[in-house]
Amino acid sequence: MEGFLTILALFVCLLPILLVIGLIKPKVVLFWSKKPTRLKVVGWWLLLEFVFFIAFGLLNERFESNKTPEEIISSSKKDIDDGDYNTAIERLKRIAPEDSLYTYAQELIGRADSLSKEEVLNKAIKEIKDKNYDAAIRRLEKIAPANYGSSLLRRAKLLSHLKESNLTVLTVKDIIMSHGVKVRCFDEKYEDVVMPDNPSQWFNNVSTASATIPKGQPWTGNRDGDLVLLGKALFEFNFDGKNYSWNIGTGSEFIVQKTDRGTYKLYPEETIELLE
């Protein structure tokens, strides 16, 4: 059966070549016809494509249904290695619960599903970096965002909305204790932005800013030997005569506008709406 499918697949691959030859010299392909024309060549090509497509689909389905659980497992592993995760999942679903390989099949389904979603996330991150937010949103909405990729989907939607106002977002990556409190962020392209040691210099349109760590906040160590804040820091500043006080930590976001000099202007009211 597998050999027959291979031969059938080769015939399907030859059809485009025959089409090209037939369009150049119809008589070579339609040698039995008294009046070979290019239109007849195209008609026969479409008919054969349709017939071979239906035949290949039916035979392949029959071939797959006759596979043993062991063969399904082997084929699915190859599919996963080749990055064809959906095909692997559909194959593995055919293994019945009463089969001894059912548990292993479910493990492989989980692995393929995770890799498939990871691939989607990586593609979405690239689209966000390229500012192709709508494409990232469409891609992420297909993978059950309530359980997976929800934060990335929210980020794509936020950046898409801000793009119209020439604004962007800075996201706090971490807050570390290294010769004082240091805040590290990343921008809309996921490029690192290290904030100045002096909080008053974080944004060029705020004044008398400060960042303090309330007592009792949890910390952990990183590979560089620095302490990383697990809780929240208190960020206080004055903008246009009004005092603001925010708790910020990993994942906190600032709505900003990047200037020609590479600095940032903070938009406090827009950021407050985001925090809410």
CA dihedral 114, 117, 119, 120 (to 10 degrees): 180
Residue 23 lies in a domain: no
> Angle at CA 176, nearest 5°, toward 172 and 180?
120
With beta carbons less than 8 A apart as the criterion, state whether 177 and 229 touch.
Answer: yes
Q: Which two tokens stand for residue 2?
A: 């597998």
d(CA 219, CA 227): 6
Residue 127 lies in a domain: no
Give the H/E segment covering residue 204: none
With beta carbons less than 8 A apart as the criterion, state whether 105 and 95 touch.
Answer: yes
Instruction: Give residue 114's pLDDT.
Output: 86
Q: Which two tokens stand for residue 249?
A: 């930590």
Residue 265 lies in a domain: yes
Q: How far is CA 63 from CA 24, 36, 76, 78, 177, in A?
A: 38, 38, 15, 17, 62
> Range of 171's domain?
166-275
**Structural domain count, the chain:** 1
Rg of the chain, C-alpha, whole Å: 30
Q: Which two tokens stand for residue 128?
A: 């966000």
Residue 160 lies in a domain: no
Question: Which residues neighbour 28 within 8 Å (Cβ) at sequence distance 6 or greater?
Answer: 21, 22
Segments in the chain below pLDDT 50: 1
Closest-CA residue to 155 (of 178, 172, 176): 172
Q: Is the dihedral of CA 112, 116, 121, 123 positive or negative?
A: positive
Q: Is the pTM of this model over 0.75?
A: no
Residue 188 lies in a domain: yes
CB atoms within 10 A of CB 197: 14
CB atoms within 10 A of CB 114: 12
Residue 218 lies in a domain: yes
The whole-angstrom distance between residue 52's C-alpha and the CA centroid of its chain comes to 35
Q: Is the dihedral of CA 156, 158, 163, 168 positive or negative?
A: negative
Residue 232 lies in a domain: yes
Residue 5 lies in a domain: no
